[in-house]
Each structure stands twice: as C-alpha cells, then as structure tokens.
Amino acid sequence: MTLVELVEASHSPAAAERLCGYAFNDRARDALAQAGRTVLTEYLPTSGACALMSAIYAEAVMALIDDPIHVVAGTLDADGVRVFGRTAIATGPTPFLKSDIDWDGHMWVMAGDRVADVSLLRTAKDSKSPPALRRLATREFGPRAGLVVWPIAEALDAGLRYVPRYVLTSAEIAGLAAGGRATLRRA
C-alpha cells in the first residue's frame, strides 16, 4: 500500500486527501528542525528506540504546525540490506496500542514526501547496529549528525529504502510518546 492508502486506512479519506494536496514548505522544515533539536537534546541517546522517539518527535512537530504529519511503521533497507523489518506488524486495528516484542521494524515521521527520522543515526552509532546501516550512516552523514530530514527519493538515492506498512493513529502516537517521555527523558 502507498502512504496515502495507509493514511486513509488508519485515519480517514479526508486525511489522505489532505496529504495528497500538501506541499512541503519552509515553515514545516523549520518546525521539523526545531522539534528534532529538542528531542535530541532532551532525551537520552538510546539505540533502538525508534517507536518512542518518533512518537515524541511527531507530537513536538504537531505542536508547532498544523501540517499533515504521520508516524509510519515499516521496513528499512540500507544499501540493499534489510536492517529493520523482518517480522510483520501485528494484525488488527491499532497494533501499536499494545506491546509486540517480536516486531523488529522501524518507525519514522513523514511530512508530505519528506522522511524525518530522529532515531536512525543514534541507532547507527551503536556498536550493535547492523553493519550496513553503520556504513551508510558514516558515508552519508558523518559522525555528528543526529536528525535526517529529506525527500524520500533522496533517501533512496543514498541507499536508504523506507517501505511504509502502517500509519499510526493519534492514540498510538500518544501512548508511545507517553512511554518515551517516562523512560527516555534525561534526568
């Protein structure tokens, strides 16, 4: 399914239509950057926390702008190697309202055609990170980058293939963000 179809399935036809008519702009870019700085500063550098961090990040962005911002769950390949998403997302409505320790996928935020990934580079810097992801992150971003925001086509050109499988509902985002604030916030 496409992102638009996934938004329609999780939200509504109106939300999908709004996404189709959306044009990324400077205000959105600035909000994504500001929220990213806040999340990366206020929360511990934890590897493998993409669900919690993406939900916190999405809420921070949505507090700044009223654009169609979506948290997406799916698979991620780095240079043709599947690094996240070997197991399927649990079936049924709102699968992320409950814990699923078997799911090994990835979550990120979408603003129109822009991927905004606040957790990827933290995970890539971890010594237990998949080698393909570590190599790609070093090559494309260097050692100091923390936030990735770019058009989906540019991510693919660099070797990152994000494949959406599910768009989280507002309740799922709120639940994950609350869990993240409780467990990841710096002291």
pLDDT digits (tens, 9 = 90+) for 101-124: 788 999 999 999 999 999 999 999
pLDDT for the residue 128 = 87
For residue 126, pLDDT beyond 90: no
pLDDT for the residue 91 = 81
Which of the 8 DSSP states describes residue 47?
T
Rounded to the nearest integer, the mean pLDDT of the chain is 93
Q: Which residues, at least 6 apart from 49, have a Cβ–Cβ distance to it below 8 Å? A: 119, 122, 123, 180, 184
Q: How confident is the model at residue 187 (pLDDT cuts 50, 70, 90)?
A: low
For residue 186, pLDDT beyond 80: no
d(CA 34, CA 80): 31
pTM of the model: 0.94
Torsion of CA 63, 53, 156, 20, to 10 degrees: -30
pLDDT digits (tens, 9 = 90+) for 31-84: 999 999 999 999 987 878 999 999 999 999 999 999 999 999 999 999 999 999
Per the structure, the count of domains in the chain is 1
For residue 18, pLDDT beyond 90: yes
pLDDT digits (tens, 9 = 90+) for 161-170: 999 999 999 9
d(CA 58, CA 49): 14
Q: Within 13 Å of residue 20, how many CA atoms lie on the same side as its CB?
A: 12
Residues of the chain with pLDDT > 70: what percent?
Answer: 99
Q: CATH number for the domain including 138?
A: 3.10.550
From the list 12, 167, 13, 16, the residue with the least C-alpha distance to 89 is: 167
Give the DSSP H/E element, type plus range, for residue 33: helix 26-42
Q: How confident is the model at residue 17 (pLDDT cuts 50, 70, 90)?
A: very high
Domain range for 21: 3-184
Q: How confident is the model at residue 144 (pLDDT cuts 50, 70, 90)?
A: confident
Range among 5-14, 39-48, 124-133 rated most confident:
5-14
